[in-house]
Every structure is written in structure tokens, then in C-alpha cells.
Structure 1
Amino acid sequence: MIANPAKSPAKAARAVLTFGLVVIAAALVWWLAYYSQYNGLSDLGAKFACFSNDAPECGIVQSLIGSSAIPVYSPMLLWAGLVVSLVGLYLTRRHKA
């Protein structure tokens, strides 16, 4: 039997938090897959600024990667996951009391 989220706000809050964390993990995997195409895993520290913003270096690395089967990474997925996670965390704390 599947619980109705409206009848279980604590479970719904945990689901929102979990979804946000999954979105953040997906952003990390996407970033890793895209930026490891240039110099592999050896230079990821230099490309880490591209994980959370569009620094000028990101455009340079993207031009060096060229066309790819993997879509160009966008930090918007990370930020969306962070917002959803924070909402889930807030709801979890709110329904704990």
C-alpha cells in the first residue's frame, strides 16, 4: 500500500529532501562525465569552479572539448537540487516537531 503524501507530511518532506539530494548527485555525475572528457580525471580540481558557476575557464574548457555526445554541463541542475534539498530539509524539520 502506498502512503498518500497528504496524509503523511513527514514522509512527503523526506521524499522532497531525498529528491533534491538525488538531483545534486545527478549534477555531480553530469559534471564529472562532461569535464573528464578533457584531460581525464587528472585536472578535475582546476575544473571544479565549473561545478557551481559558469566561470570564464569553463568556456575555455568547453571549447577544448568541442562537440560531445554528453550535453554541455550547466550548474542550474545543481542549484535546483540545492533549492529542493533546502525546502525538503525545512519541511523535515518543521514536521519533526
Structure 2
Amino acid sequence: MKTDEKYVPVFKALGDETRLKIVEMLSDGELCACDILESFQLTQPTLSYHMKILTESGLVNSRKEGPRMRYSNNESMISSVKEFWDTIDSSSK
């Protein structure tokens, strides 16, 4: 896989308004799925779908704490995406 190909799932994940808002919410720190759910008018299965996409893209980390799922931004991936984005220079084309 070419280096830039690993970012395709990231940008696809961020192409959805709900997922973009979730990543923004998580920038303040780790949250329980129940806390995220309260901020949206979604069903639990719909939230699970969005969280699956975010975790599979590498943007979000998940961990189980008792019966609850807790989510946080993957700062390493976010830094990598920022660095990749900074290499895109449309003025050189």
C-alpha cells in the first residue's frame, strides 16, 4: 500500500458530518458511548456503525470499561493526517 492510501479511509470517515462532530467532541478527551449518544438524535446501533468506521479508519481508539465502551481520538493518526495534509501543495501544480 502506498503511504497516501492509508488516508483514504480517514477522509471517507471524516466525509460524514456526524463522524466529524464525534471526532471534534473527542478532542476534549475520552468519552463513553452513552455520552456521545446524548449529543445526537441517533439510535445506539447507528452510533455503533459510526464508531466502527472511525475506529477502523484509525482516527479513534476504543476500549471496553466494564459494560461500557469508551472512545478517544488517536492522536498519533491525527498528527500523521495533519502532516500528510501539509504535504499537499496545490500551488506547485
Higher relative contact order (CA 8 A, sep 6+): 1
Which of the two has greater strand per residue? 2
* TM-score bucket of the superposed structures, by smaller chain: 0.3 to 0.5
Which of the two has greater helix per residue? 1
Instruction: With the length of structure 1 as denominator, give the TM-score of the two structures.
Output: 0.35
